[in-house]
Each structure stands twice: as structure tokens, then as C-alpha cells.
Structure 1
Amino acid sequence: MRHIADSKEQIDNLDRSSHVADSSWEQELNKMAEQLKTFLDKNGKEKDLEKSASIFHQMGLLYKEQSKQDDSITKKLSLIRSAALLNAAVTRQPGNQQFKQSLKDFCSDLLKTAGAKILDADLLKIAQEVKEMAKKMRKETNESLQQIKIIPYDVTIDEQKELEAEKIANIKTIQAQITETYKNMMKFVSSECEKIMENPPCKYSITGMGSLARCEITPYSDFEHIILLEEGAQEKDNYPQVLEYFRWFSVIFQTIIINLQETIIPSVAIPSFKHVIKPGEKEFFDAFTKRGISFDGLMPQACKLPLGRMERTKRKPWTTELIKPVNEMLTYLDKDEDLKNGYRISDVLMSTCQVYGDEQIYQQFSEGVRKVLQSGQPSHHERLMKQLNEDLTNFDAFKSLNALDIDSKCNIKRLVYRTSTLFISALGRLNSIDDGSSFAIIDQLNNNNIIDDETAHLLSYAIAVSCQVRLKVYMEKESQDDYVGEEQLYDIFDNKVFTNLMHTVGERSMVDYFAIVYNLQDFLRNEDDLINFRLNITLTPLDKFRTLYSLELNDRVISEWESYSQVQPPNTLSEDELWIRCYVAHAYCNMDINKDALLMLEWLEERDIEDLQFKVAVMHEKARCLYKLDRLQEALQFIGRVESELLNLNFSDSDKYSLRGHLAYISARCQYKLEEYQLAFDQFMEASECFARVDQRDEPLKEIIRAFCFYRIELCLYELGDYDAAINEAEKSLQHHEQHNGSVNDKCECYSLLGQSHLERDDYDKALKYFQTELDLRLQFVPSEKQDSDEDIKFARSNIQICQANLELEMLYWMSLTI
């Protein structure tokens, strides 16, 4: 069966398209992109909207003009890009009548180029009607979300279950309402496109994918979809004309969606923006446009839209079109050559929903998918298991939580949404369940006795929490913005990112979410038989303490321990109980309740435990605790003993280097406190070298810790009087912090030490520059009412005054020589 997307005609067109573009046209676009760069800040964001709007307007007109010279495929791309750029200009300068007229003219010209039957159709008016529908949907969603209660800690088990069930029911209702409204909007746009084009050449179905098919869509989501054609259309003589009809149908559809003015410019993948970027620079980032209802992007890793992947790249020299008859579309489920786009096309086609058009065509496709799922073909199971293992690595919930320690922002889709929904979907596929809704998959698993009632409740609750988080974050930002947090952290040890996230749905819900997800992922990671499995999840005290520990909620760990220890035998030796005590000791140490921490750690140390991970955790905490108690010699002796034991532990090289690095770092801190600066220098060097050899995936903090090492190496060199070498290390530390998202406070420490080192060398100009940079940074992040009392700010100001005074003395000295 032939694939039209890969037909000779289309390949020839695409090959020609790479040569047909006039080099002067490309040069003009590149020149405009270069000009735009001058209006961007260091993060690629616009500084002058009026000037950038003018450039977008010029580029939009140029793409429109060039489309007249393009071949069939490239013409469509140029017009889509023109629509996005002209809308970008209008949104940045809504009062500019020239921009508005250009957009209006573009829409009119597009209809002529597409061969539309209704040439006076108003694409802007249609978009405005969709806007009003979206506005109402968002208002109703926001009101519904405000009604959902936050579940407190101080409730009985029965009350907790009742509140959880209530949350599940509310989220199901909200998601169903959003899904229905979203479908109605897309039905409206589809029907308008059909009216404009008139007389469809065959029966067809607009079929939704992604979160719409899973009933987990948000009021700010992309519309991922395909166009299914009736079977047999490919055998007719007019099939090329049929494809052209629906390609132009799709371009008009996309233009209406772009006219909502919620499509960010990077999503249309304009080559010029990448061509003018040099290595190390950040490309243009559309921070102005509030991202909302749009189509899936034209980037190579996206293209989940009917026109599909139209452009070749060197690394991926193929095309994919998602306008096909039913049976041809079904071949995407198992043909390897069609599974290389990077977005798991087979997966997205497994979960779909009918949006508009012929219901029977959609049912034929849905039945075909069901047969594939139930076929039990080894290739499908192998593909599923491969994808599952990749997801368990890429969306490991607890490793993602560890990464929060160094992230100024967290991506809630990666951290919260996908850490549960991907794996519920996998459970469905493993059991040939083709219903895309996570809630529906859970219900079917329960009905089939694959999970029990308690597990079904917990998994449903996790999905409810993940949907609630995503909805609330989007609604608060009025945009499809997955990031929570600030551009930069002031202090890495005072990370408020996750605290802010917990406020959206409540601390208890977030803690329980990760406890449930840990159990789900752990089961999938360790279960040998994922064909005939049974999954039963029950949350234990260990689950709660482990999650609180990972979230660094030290106050809550201690308060939970105070309640828990009153009802548990004091000397229980079960593995769970020992790990709980280890987490509590960590919390004590973090809260500077060091004596209690040490007592608990010494009690744990006396237990004969075979778990190597547990031994290492206790070793590390005890060394840290002794250091914090200023029992420095004891800490050094303990570390020496632990390092010899380390050689006998059956760990991976990465784990051994990680532990050695942590112990060397604590040892160096002890030596520094003892004023043994040369020994401290040697230990910090060893720590840095160890962390350099740790696997990045296993140790997300390693690069920031290495930056700390460089900084402390500089401190040692400064104390040893080697100021040139100290400056060298400080610059290395500063560069490392810049590359690896170090906090503002850490960078300020580097600037301060650079200033001190130059001051010791009587280089007052350079010292002043570094002290002033430090002060300016601190003033940006410390509230104005606290600036006069902040010790770091006072010290920076004092250093600036010293430099200025010395510079004045130098000037007076040189003036005296000239008299």
C-alpha cells in the first residue's frame, strides 16, 4: 500500500523546495533576524515591543510574498509562518492600523490561494467567535477550581478518604466540561472551514489526540489532531486533488487558530531565527505571547497536525503526513520507518477521539487500533516495554524532586503530570485497554481485578491531583506555561519553588501524590511479569516519611515523627522503621537539632543492617552532624574509617565517587575550620575530582557542588596568600555557576572573593568593579526594607568605600607628583 507522504511527487517537491528559495530572500530574512537580536535581552526576550513588532510585520509580508514563488508544500509553510508573524505584530501594537490591514489582506489572499469557494469569509471574525467561547470556558473553569477544598493534615482517615473522593469527582467533572467545550470549539472551526472550502471530495473525520483524547485537556492546550479519509479514497484518480483539498482545509484551520493570537512565534519554526544564533547564544523566545489554544508546532519533534512533518533536516531526512485513509493511517502503528519523528507517533495514535466529520470513519479507525492493541504481537509489546523503560528513566519522580534542589524553576508537566499519566497509560496498554482517559483506564483495571479498590482510589487521586496542579498553574498564569518559580534563585538552600507549588493544591495532596507515584513507578520498574500482573498499592508510614524527606519538609518530618513514635515500639528493627529514623535524623540535622540527630544516627549505626544504601545514608549524615557540632577531629577520624569501609561496598563506580566526594567535602570543611588551609585545599580538590566522575543522572547536584568546591578552593588559596591562584579559581567557580544555574547568592560570594583578592593585590579598580557587581545583584533580590540591616549588603558597601578611598589616595599621590 503506497504512502502518499512518501510519494515520488512529494519527495521531488520537497527536494526542489530546498533550492527554489531565492538566496536574496533568505538573506533578507536573516538580516531581519539579526536586527531583532539587537532588541532582545540575554535570555532572548524582547526589550522593545514596537521595534520587534515592526520586524515581525516585515517578515510576515516577506513570507507572504515569497509564497507566490514556492512549490505546493513550501507555499503552505510560508503562509502559516506569515500568519503567525503578522498576528505577532498586531498583538504587540494593537493600535497600528497598517498591521491590522496587512493581516486582513493576508486572510483574504489566503482564501484565493487555497481555491476557497467563499472568498469573502472573515477568518478574523471566526477567530473572534472562538475567543469568546474560550473566554467563557476559562471563566467557568476558574470558578470551579476555586470550589475544590484543600485537604488538611488534621483529619481522620474516614474524613480524608471522603475529601479525596470529592476531589476526584470534582476534577472528573471539570475535565469533562473542558473537553466538551474544547471539542465544540474545534467542531465550530471545522464546520466553518468546510463551508469556506465547500464540497468535500470524500467523507472524512477530524480526529483529536493527546490530552483532548485523554479527557485531560486544559483551557490553554494545543489542538493535536489528524484527518482520516474514507477508505478507498486513495484508489481514485482524483486522490492528489483530494489531498490538496484537505491540506488547504488544514492551512485555513490553522490560520483561524493563529488568529486567536495565542500561538508563540517559535512554534512555527522560522529558520532565520536559528541561522543567526551563534554557539552559546540564546535564540529568540516569545515571552510576550500568552500561549493558549494553538496547533501543535512545526518543529521537527512536534508536527502532530494534519500537515505533519513537511520539512526535511540533515538528521531526519523524511516527511510524515497525517491526512490519510483509515488503513494507511493504521500502518503508522507498526511500521518502523514511520516511527522516527521523536514524538512517539504510534503512541499518540493509540489514543484518539472523534471531533468532527463522519463518525463511521472514526469508528473504523478506532476498531483498527483496538485490534492492534489486542493482537498480542511481540513487536508491540517490545515497543511498549522499551518506551516504558525510557519513561521510567526520564520521568523518575524522585530524581526530578532531587533536581528541584538546584532548579530556580520546575516544569509541572514533567514533575507532576507526566510522572503519573504516562504510567497509567502504560498499564492500560499492557492490558489492551484503548480508552484514553486515565480515570477510565483505572476503572477498567479495577473492574478486571488487576488492581483492588484501594489501589484504584489512590491512582485516581493521583491523577486528580496532577490535573488540578496543571489546571491551576495555567489558569493563574492565563497561559500554557508549565514553569513554576523565578528566573533565578537568591539562595539555593532557600528554594521556595516547590513550596509555592504546594500552595496551589495543598501540602498533603502533593505529599500523597508523590508517595503514590513512587509506589507505581517502583512496581513497574521491578515487576518481572508485566503481562499477568496484579498491582496493589497501600501507603505506609515509610512512604510518607520518604516523600517528606525528598521534599525537604523538615518541620513536617519532625512533627510527624513526634506523633508516630508515640504509637510505635521504640526499638523496632524492621527495615522500614530504620529508614524512617534515618529520614528523621536528616531532618534534625537540617534544623540544627544536631544532638538529637547524632543520638539517632549512632543508634542506627549499631544495628547490623545489610542494606548498603542505608549504611551510606547513615555514614554521610553522621559525618555532617559531627561537623555541625564542631566535633571536627571526631568527624575526620570517622570519615577516615568510613573511606576504608567504602572500598568493600558493592556499589557502582558512580555511587562510590558520589560518597567519596561528599565525605571529602565535609572533611575539607573540617580542615578549613581548623585553619589547616593546605589540607582543606587538597580535600576540596579531591571532592571536585570525585564529583566530576559521578554520573549526571545519578547526581543532579554534582555540578553545583563542584562550583562550591571551586569557591572554597579559592578561599583556601586566599588564606594561603596566593591571590593570583585564588582569582583563577573564583573565575572558574563563577563560570561554573553561570553554566549550571547557580544561585544569585553563590555568584555574589564569588564576586566578593574576587574583590577581596584584587584588594589584597592593591588592584583597587578591579576590586571596586567586583564589589559593585556583588552589591547590585544583592540589591535586586533583598527587599528594600531589609537592605540596610542585611550583613552581606553592609559588607559589600564597606568594601566599596575602602576601594574608593584607596583610589582617591592614589589620585592625590599622582597629583602631588605633578605639582
Structure 2
Amino acid sequence: MLRVCEKLRVVDAKSKRHGLARTETDYLRALQDAMANMDSCVEVEVLKSLGDVNLEKGKMDKNSEMLDRAMVLYRTALIQCNDADVGESLEHRYHYAEKLRSYEEYLTTGDRALTDGKLDEAEQNFVSALREIHDPSKPDRGKEAECLCRLGDVYVQRGETTKEGRKFTQAAALYNAAMARMDKNKHSVTKKLQEIEQLFLHHTANVETKHVPPDLAIGHKKRLQEMRTCAKSQLEAIDHQHNPYQYDEDDPVMITVEAEGAEAVKALFKNIAKNRQGFIKDLVNECIATLGPPPCKYAFIGLGSQATELVTPYSDLEFAILIEEGKDTYDTRRYFLNLTHYLHLKVINLGETILPAMAIPSLNDFLSEDPEKDWFFDSVTPRGFAFDGFMPWASKTPFGRNKTKRKPPVSLIQTPTEMAKFQLLDISVAEGYHLSDILRRVVFLTGEEALVKIYEEKLKEVVTDGLLSPLLVRLSALKILEENREHINSHEPTGQLLNVKKDIYRFPGIAIEVLALITQITLASAWDIIDRLKEMEEIQEENATHLTVLTSISAELRLRTYLNNGGQQDKNTAHPDIAMSLNNLGSSWSHLGDHKKAISYQEQSLSMVKTIYGENTTHPDIAKSLNNLGSSWGNLGDHKKAIRYYEQALSLMKTIYGENTTHPDIAKSLNNLGLSWGNLGDHKKAIRYYEQSLSMGRTIYGENTTHPDISSH
């Protein structure tokens, strides 16, 4: 047996040097020896190795016969195997080979159907192949790319047959998703994407063009990246110039610097919104230059975060189109639909549109009640600057929404008068208020700005005039609060990382939206609404500052998360800047008096800094987080828990700075411990800590120096 095992070892070594063909011959000789020695254990191992060789050949050459042979070898080994662990490994290999066999068969059948022009059959087979190997947690990128490319070919032919613009954009999204999964040989897919643009212009827009410059998409990507780099550098500058958290929370300077930082963040987000507007305007003008002049006056209006000026360089593009009154004809709609498709094609070619957003029925059928038909999860394509998706609950683009079982179709290409009708009570109720809420706050992007002014006047007539407006306002406000009740309620502290968009960013937006509704402010920008609320004396100046700070920190945290993740991933990843923002949010909630919410964010910050620096590492940021948690628990009245955090912070600081070192942070922790013991009624212990803190403060600042830290001890 030892001789045969040694032979197997030699064969394994040869396989790395001489390739699979030579290896298979050597394994067959080893199998003969094992059978001659009647050694079933070695025989099973050799059969397994022979199966692996044939499996690898089948994968490399896309040879179904080799995959069949691998399955036979694995099954033969299984029959003779008496070891449970080896048997489990063989079962796994057998099913994997079976899956690959089915995959190759589906692709071959699909290729034949596509050649014969049987598009439904081809799509069905390519989708079946994709299903065989699709694993969101561990995607097989190469095989997914093969399937997605073929599906792209199907949708190109569908576009040529039906002349529907959406078929071409779906094809482009499939090709881009395939490219995201490819490490090399992208040239052929890039060429297909260039051909799609020409095919769309020819078949859908009836425009003949000889050549589409390939460097246009490259230029768009470069410009988008420059916007992101600029936002990141501005954020870093704000960190250096306005860092309120270098001061104690009760230091008046801290409040001033915090407010200045919030104003700087506000300016940053206004700048991002302006840059995005310019980018969108240039893309639209590029499309119009090819399609020809529009048949009437028009205006693109930005919705959602573009309108509220809380948009990031990674945010979805949500918009609608206003057209001139009296010009709503078939030809007008056809032009602007084609313009939207063409713009969509250019945005898709930025490479940041995930496939579910395209609502391709064979991958993600959102209208079906069968959950199995919404099965494809795109974990590879980066999610960034893209059209709002075609899902029924999204669809905030001129395409609107197709008819569903419960709702009629909606188009967001309308005259100002018709667009304003979405605010009417019966339509708002039927749509669930969300659409009317979105269309109430808009911003001009490109076209004729006068149309936006007309729309705003029409909006004002519906929202602020008439007998129904107070009822509509109350209903809208209540509906917003009801739909977001889960996110408004204080989170019990858990230490778990929250979703930036749902749990952090959304609350200030809801507060501002409801305040704007009940005060009948029709401004779009969240920042401008806060300023107007202050001017109208609906909120006090101090609360306006708190709301600005809270909005700035939540928006900044979302931007940091996207910059750190390289796209729209709302789960926090461990990063010092994000940890600092979470801590800042905790401080802001503490100022507003919601200490439970403050603790929730501070625990996230503590969890993150421990992840970054190590669970048992001594680091000033960990000590700071512990100290802040002690303060918040003290504010909640749990002084025992506060003392535990203060003692941990003090221990860390003494380790960092030295056991007998005098340092302001150590003095502060001693003072906090004195305060907590005093609140618990142990005044002797409180005095001891106060005396240590006072002595250290005088050593740091001088015996006879007047300093806020000494006066507070």
C-alpha cells in the first residue's frame, strides 16, 4: 500500500509539471496497481483523482463527454467508498460535475436556438444555465459572464425585431454586467456596446449615424470619478478645518465649531448637487445633438435627493420631464421617450447599473406573485450612478410605471398642469402618497426653466390653496410618519451596525419633509427649508442649528460610507472616518436630549474602532468612545453603567499616556467618575476623584491659572 501511495504522490507532483493528459495516464497505471493489490482505499482515491482530471478537462474544453466521464468515475468511487468524509467529498464533486454538465447543455441548446432566431427558447436556456451556477455569496464570475453575454445577444435581436428602446438598454445592462465579471478579453463586449448605440439610433430613433466615438463613455466615467475624488478631498478639508470633537462637550467652542462644520458640509452637498446637475445637462445635450431638436419646450426636473440637495456622486438619477402646455401629442411623447432611452443607454454604459434595476422578467419578475421568479441577485456589478429602477415601487424616471394588478400605468412625461394633478387627493390616496411627495419637491436640471416656474405655481394652487389642502397636508404628513414609524422610534442600544440610509440618513429627511408640509413651505432643498423655518420662527434658532448639524452628519456619514465602499452599499464598513461620524451623531442626539439614540450610535462607533484597532488594543479613539458612552448612560440616569464605562476609559488612558502622567483626558475621566459617584450618593468616593482631577488640572494648566477645566473640577 505504501508503494501505491508513494506512486500517487509522484503522480500528483507530475500533474503540476506535465499537464492533464500525461497525468491521466499515470493515474490509470496507479489504478491498475491498486486493483492488483485489492486495496479499495487507494482505488477510491485514484478514481476520485481521475474524476478530477476529467472534470478539469471538461471545464477547460467545454466538453460534455469529459464531464460525463467524471460523473461516472465519482459514482464508481462512491459505490466502493466506506469512509463517510470521503463519501461526502465525492457526493459534492458528483453534483458539481452534474451541474456543469447541465450548464454546458443549456448553453449549447441556447446557442442553437439563437442561431435559428428562436429568441424565447434561447433566453430560457441561457437563464437555466445561469440558474445552475448562480451563487450570490460566491459568484462564478466567468460562467455568469458567459450567460449574461448570451442574454445580451438575445435582447439585441429583440430590439432589432420590436424596435423597442428598452430592449436595447436591457441588452446594454447585460453586457455591462458581463464586463464587470471579466478580468480580460473585454474588447469584444466593448464593441457590442458601441454597436448597440448605433442599432438603437437606427431601429428605435430612426437616426442614421456612421460612428459612435468610443471615447465618449470613457470621458463620462472619468468625469464621474473626478466628482467623487473632489467630494472626498473636500470632506477631508472639512475634517481638518472644523473638528468640534477635539473639545469637551460642555465647552461653548465645541458648539460653535460644530455649527461651522455643518455649514461646510451643507456647502459641500450643494456643490455636489450642482456638479451632478451639470453632468446630467451635458449628457442630455449630447443625446439631443444626435437625436435632433425637441418638438417643443421641455424641462428635466430632478427628484429625490437631487432636489433636496442631499445627493451623493453615487446616488440614483430620479427625474421627470415637463413638456409645453398644448404640445402633449404622440410625436412629442415618442421623442422624449426615445431621448430618455438614449440617456439611459449612456448612463448604463457608466457600468454602475445592477441588473435587478432593469426588471428583466426572466431574471427579476417583480410583477409575479411567485417569489421564485425574482431570483437573480447582482452581487458583482458596482451600484452607483444609475437610473432609478423599473421596480413598481421605484420607477421615478420619465418611463414611469407600467400597469400593475392594483394600480394604473403612470408616465412622468407631462405638462405642468397634468404633473401637478398627482397632488390631488384621490390620486395621492390611490398612489399611496409617495409619488405625490416626490413630485412636490423638484429642482431644474436642463431645458426651459420657465416651465419649472409654471409647475411650481400649479403645485402651489393644489398644495396651499383650496378647501382640500389642509386635509391633504395632514394626510400626507401622517402617512409619511406611519410609513417610517420603525425608523423614527428610538433604537434600543444593541451595538450592531445600522443601515446608513434606512436608520440614519432617513430620519432628518422625514423631519424636514413633515415640517415643510405642515408649514406649507414649497422649497425643495432640505438646507433651504431649515433656513425658511427659522425665518418664519416656526423653530427656534438653536433647534435650527441642531437640525442642520444632524442633517449634515447623517448626510456626511452616508457619503463617507459610499466613498469607502465604492458604491451604494449602505451597510457601514469599518473605517476611522465613519467611526468618527457615528460618534458625532451620538453627540448630536445627546444635545437634542435623545440619549438612547445617542448610545445606539456611540456603541456602533465603539464597535467599529475596536474592529479597526483590535478588541484589546489601547487606542485614544476607543477610550474616547468609552467616555462618551459613560456620559450618555449617566444622562439616562444609569450611573452604575456610566461608572463602568468611565473606569474602562480611565484604565485605557493611563495605559496610553502612563500610569502617573498628567493629561487632560485623564483629568476629565477622573472628574466624570467623581460626578457619577456623587449621583449615586457616595460623596466620599466622589470627593477623592474630584481632588485627583483638580490636582491634575492645576499641574497641567498652572496652580494659579484660570481655566475652564480647573473650574469644572
Q: 1:503 aligns with which of 579, 582, 589?
A: 579
- The aligned residue for residue 383 of structure 1 is 475
Amino acid at match of 2:231: T
- The aligned residue for residue 305 of structure 1 is 397
- The aligned residue for residue 360 of structure 1 is 450
Please list, as runs of the form range in 1=range in 2, the aligned pairs for 1:37-56 lying within 5 A after superposition.
37-41=131-135, 44-45=136-137, 47-56=139-148
Distance 2:119 2:433 in 1: 32
> 8 Å contact 1:33–1:272 — kept in the other structure?
yes
Is it true that 1:242 corresponds to 2:336 in the alignment?
no
- The aligned residue for residue 589 of structure 2 is 514
- The aligned residue for residue 453 of structure 1 is 541
Provide the secondary structure at the position in 2 that maps to 1:356: strand
Relative distance call for 1:322 and 1:368 in structure 2 (3 A) is same
Provide the secondary structure at the position in 2 that maps to 1:95: coil
Please list, as runs of the form range in 1=range in 2, the aligned pairs for 1:105-184 lying within 5 A after superposition.
105-117=195-207, 119-120=209-210, 122=212, 124-149=214-239, 150-152=243-245, 154=248, 157-184=251-278
Deviation (angstroms), 1:95: 2.5
Deviation (angstroms), 1:35: 1.7
- The aligned residue for residue 283 of structure 2 is 189
Distance 1:301 1:91 in 2: 27
Relative distance call for 1:480 and 1:560 in structure 2 (3 A) is closer
Distance 2:632 2:197 in 1: 67
Deviation (angstroms), 1:154: 2.6
Provide the secondary structure at the position in 1 that maps to 2:300: strand
Distance 2:423 2:132 in 1: 46
Is it true that 1:66 corresponds to 2:158 in the alignment?
yes
Please list, as runs of the form range in 1=range in 2, the aligned pairs for 1:97-496 lying within 5 A after superposition.
97-117=187-207, 119-120=209-210, 122=212, 124-149=214-239, 150-152=243-245, 154=248, 157-234=251-328, 239-274=329-364, 283-310=375-402, 312-316=403-407, 318-334=408-424, 336-337=426-427, 340=430, 344-375=434-465, 377-399=469-491, 402=493, 410-485=498-573
- The aligned residue for residue 690 of structure 1 is none
Relative distance call for 1:560 and 1:375 in structure 2 (3 A) is same
- The aligned residue for residue 636 of structure 2 is 580
Distance 1:588 1:366 in 2: 56
Q: 2:128 aligns with which of 16, 26, 34?
A: 34
> 8 Å contact 2:630–2:643 — kept in the other structure?
no
- The aligned residue for residue 686 of structure 2 is none
Residue-by-residue CA offset, 1:639-671 (whole Å, 9 max, x unaligned): xxxxxxxxxxxxxxxxxxxxxxxxxxxxxxxxx
Deviation (angstroms), 1:172: 1.6
Provide the secondary structure at the position in 2 that maps to 1:233: coil
Provide the secondary structure at the position in 2 that maps to 1:483: coil
> 8 Å contact 2:318–2:388 — kept in the other structure?
yes
Deviation (angstroms), 1:449: 1.0
Amino acid at match of 1:384: S
Distance 2:317 2:457 in 1: 23
> 8 Å contact 1:30–1:273 — kept in the other structure?
no
Amino acid at match of 2:285: S
Deviation (angstroms), 1:454: 0.6
Identity of aligned residues (%): 26
Distance 2:191 2:540 in 1: 62
Please list, as runs of the form range in 1=range in 2, the aligned pairs for 1:775-790 lying within 5 A after superposition.
none
Relative distance call for 1:69 and 1:197 in structure 2 (3 A) is same
> 8 Å contact 1:46–1:287 — kept in the other structure?
no
Distance 1:286 1:387 in 2: 32
Distance 1:267 1:129 in 2: 24
Root-mean-square deviation (CA), in Å?
3.5
Amino acid at match of 1:548: I
> 8 Å contact 1:203–1:357 — kept in the other structure?
yes
> 8 Å contact 2:463–2:473 — kept in the other structure?
no
Residue-by-residue CA offset, 1:468-521 (whole Å, 9 max, x unaligned): 101111111121211125xxxxxxxxxxx7x978514262x12133346xxxxx
Amino acid at match of 1:458: H
> 8 Å contact 1:395–1:419 — kept in the other structure?
yes
Relative distance call for 1:548 and 1:503 in structure 2 (3 A) is same
Q: Which runs of 5+ in 2 are unaligned?
A: 1-115, 607-622, 649-672, 682-713
Q: 1:88 aligns with which of 164, 177, 186?
A: 177
- The aligned residue for residue 71 of structure 2 is none
Q: 1:547 aligns with which of 580, 583, 598?
A: 598
> 8 Å contact 1:370–1:432 — kept in the other structure?
no
Distance 2:552 2:456 in 1: 26
Q: Which runs of 5+ in 1 are unaligned?
A: 1-21, 486-496, 517-538, 566-576, 605-819
Relative distance call for 1:562 and 1:81 in structure 2 (3 A) is closer
Deviation (angstroms), 1:272: 1.1
Relative distance call for 1:285 and 1:296 in structure 2 (3 A) is same
Distance 2:244 2:160 in 1: 60
> 8 Å contact 1:397–1:514 — kept in the other structure?
no
Relative distance call for 1:588 and 1:285 in structure 2 (3 A) is farther
> 8 Å contact 1:511–1:548 — kept in the other structure?
yes
Deviation (angstroms), 1:547: 2.6
Amino acid at match of 2:159: S
Distance 2:536 2:371 in 1: 54
Amino acid at match of 1:265: L
> 8 Å contact 1:116–1:196 — kept in the other structure?
no
Distance 1:305 1:563 in 2: 47
Relative distance call for 1:514 and 1:415 in structure 2 (3 A) is farther
**Number of residue pairs the alignment of both structures matches:** 514
Distance 1:560 1:82 in 2: 52
Deviation (angstroms), 1:78: 2.0
Amino acid at match of 1:255: L
Distance 1:564 1:411 in 2: 22
> 8 Å contact 2:530–2:548 — kept in the other structure?
yes
Provide the secondary structure at the position in 1 that maps to 2:498: strand
Residue-by-residue CA offset, 1:134-166 (whole Å, 9 max, x unaligned): 121111111111122343253653211221122
Amino acid at match of 2:598: T
Relative distance call for 1:141 and 1:233 in structure 2 (3 A) is same
Amino acid at match of 1:514: W
Deviation (angstroms), 1:315: 4.7
Deviation (angstroms), 1:284: 2.4
More divergent stretch after superposition (338-347 vs 124-133): 338-347
Q: Normalised by the size of structure 1, how large is the TM-score?
A: 0.58
Higher relative contact order (CA 8 A, sep 6+): 1
> 8 Å contact 1:354–1:362 — kept in the other structure?
yes
Distance 1:561 1:47 in 2: 41
Provide the secondary structure at the position in 2 that maps to 1:273: coil
> 8 Å contact 1:332–1:339 — kept in the other structure?
no
> 8 Å contact 2:176–2:348 — kept in the other structure?
yes
